[in-house]
Amino acid sequence: MKRTFTLLALIALCGMVKGQYIEKNWFNSSDSVYGYYTSIKPSSGRIQGVLVLLDGYSGNADNFLSETKIHNVASANDILTICVPTGQRLYLDSTIKDVLNRILKETLLTYHLRKDQFAIGGMSAGGVIAMRYVELTKQNPSSYPVQFSACFAVDSPLDLAGLYKSSQRDLRKNMIAWWLNESQWIINRLYTEVGDPNTNLEKYKEVSPFVREAPDSTNEKLLRDVAVRTYHDVDIAWHLKNRNRSFYETNMLDGSELISRLMKLGNKDAEFMAAKTPGRKSDGTRFPHSWSIVDEIELVQWLKAKMNFYPDHLNTPFSYQAPTDWNAETILFPIDFAPSLPYKGFEQLWFAPGWGDPNSNEKWAYTILWWLDAKYSFDEKILKRDLESYFSGLTRRRAVADKLDLSSLTPAKVEIKKVETISGDKQTFSASADIFDAQVSKKPGKLYFKIQVKNCPDAERTIILFEVSANPTDQAIWKKLDQINSGFKCVDVK
């Protein structure tokens, strides 16, 4: 509708488009067009964020997916995409508000997510609905299931009073043109449902993300602390040549004004996004009012930054450093070789230079730090279960990859005991594990552990530091491992 409505990412996208599974979730089985929403899960199996998408006027929850690859790129980047039917509406009404509340509450509970892991965006009328919904969640947070870190609109008429008047200008400027039927329809629809903005501006302030001509327009102030983008195809020559429209009859006018107001309010994450390439439908037809004006990969990277994906965008969750010649690695949960570990978060590994040398006193010497995004309790039984799952999976994966004789492969067997709690810990444990050492010696071996459940002020997170070596704890390598542990510091996130 007119106005109403990194290389790794590319590699991942190419590999997943064909086989991606789109799940239908019904909330009104009697409505075969608008009675369901769709969900597209991340290909990794882990969810670090949720993106809610709404199409333009009369859009359902899946037809528009052929016009964009946002959901594909999101899936390759640990983002769950939820597509909500817009239906035959131009703005947020009580029905679509209730539908959004229901779907978001269901998503929050189904996937055990935090309330701040959400972003929302829409095309045309979908962008109007998305933007106004975010404003209401900020105005009355207790009445809504989630809070949004980012919001974007794709060529949306964000000032509905402005849309009414620009449609009037369209009719005055043009005598005969097929698109004028839409302009007249917009005027009729808004007049019937909202009224004439010249005499009923208060009603427009209720349904519109902002009202440019209202001297007391305040809705936009609710977006002061939200990352906001508006996307537009700025090829005004196309609009003039093909529609006889100036900037005053496009959605760019009000989109840029909203961003200007947010910048004045101090929002440093408010951006007007000019399309990098001309807008086109999926069949190649030139059409500025389309999903294709969004650079999908760049958008998803922006969303990841705003939704605080871990570990890259955490605000210094801890201070922890190994010697400069040790090698670092970070792995996100769920861990592919130990999928039964029931945690969200990440592990940070530091490997001694001689970790993989069977003749070195640094053999298997490394530290494992688990940063877990929830409050968890640990005891001997739970740690035994986790370590056996972890090292059984780790060694089996290497044995399979190296085509070793799997008849010699045995599951890890762990012995663990609680010891005197050391300074900085909630709990301290020691452990040993009998493993088949597929990584280094290619034969049965033994690992030794010191385990510290850290006593950090952030009660909503759990941090565990594992010191590991193939040498018993009285050997010299443990001085280095203990120094790493002693240098660990919590950071009070409050």
Q: Say if residue 134's pLDDT is above 90.
A: yes
Percent of the chain, pLDDT > 70?
A: 94
Q: Give the integer Cα–Cα distance in Å for 436 and 27.
A: 50
Tell whether 288 and 363 lie within a shared domain. no
Domain-embedded: residue 313: no
Taking each helix axis from N to C end, the angle separating 160-173 and 252-264, rounded to the nearest 10 degrees, works out to 150
Whichever domain contains 375, its CATH number is 3.40.1000
Helix (H/G/I), strand (E/B), else coil: 96: helix
Q: Give the integer Cα–Cα distance in Å for 256 and 416.
A: 62
| pLDDT score, position 4 | 36
Q: List the one residue out of 209, 188, 469, 274 whose CA is nearest residue 352.
A: 469
Tell whether 51 and 102 lie within a shared domain. yes
Per-residue pLDDT of 408-438, as tens digits, reads 899 999 999 999 999 999 999 999 999 999 9
Query: What is the count of structural domains for the chain?
Result: 2
Instruction: Specify the higher pLDDT residue, 307 or 431.
Output: 431
| pLDDT score, position 201 | 93
Per-residue pLDDT of 234-261, as tens digits, reads 999 999 999 999 999 999 999 999 999 9
Strand arrangement of the beta sheet that strand 443-454 belongs to:
327-332, 345-351, 366-372, 462-469, 443-454, 425-437, 413-419
| 366 contacts: CB under 8 Å, gap ≥ 6 | 326, 349, 350, 351, 352, 355, 468, 469
Tell whether 226 and 350 lie within a shared domain. no
Q: Say if residue 310's pLDDT is above 80.
A: no
- How wide is the angle at C-alpha 463 spanned by C-alphas 462 and 464, nearest 5°? 125
Confidence of residue 177 (pLDDT cuts 50, 70, 90): confident
Q: Give the integer Cα–Cα distance in Å for 109 and 111.
A: 6
| Boundary-marking domain end, from 277, 306, 335 | 306
- Phi and psi torsions of 449, nearest 5°: -135, 145
Which residues pair with residue 319 across a beta bridge?
A: 489
Q: Say if residue 50's pLDDT is above 90.
A: yes
Q: Say if residue 10's pLDDT is above 70.
A: no
Mean pLDDT, range 328-335, rounded to an integer: 89
| Boundary-marking domain end, from 254, 273, 306 | 306
Whichever domain contains 73, its CATH number is 3.40.50.1820
Task: Output the average pLDDT for the chain.
Answer: 92
Range of the domain at 391: 318-490
Confidence of residue 14 (pLDDT cuts 50, 70, 90): very low
| Boundary-marking domain end, from 250, 272, 306 | 306
Tell whether 332 and 282 lie within a shared domain. no
Q: Give the integer Cα–Cα distance in Å for 187 and 195.
A: 9
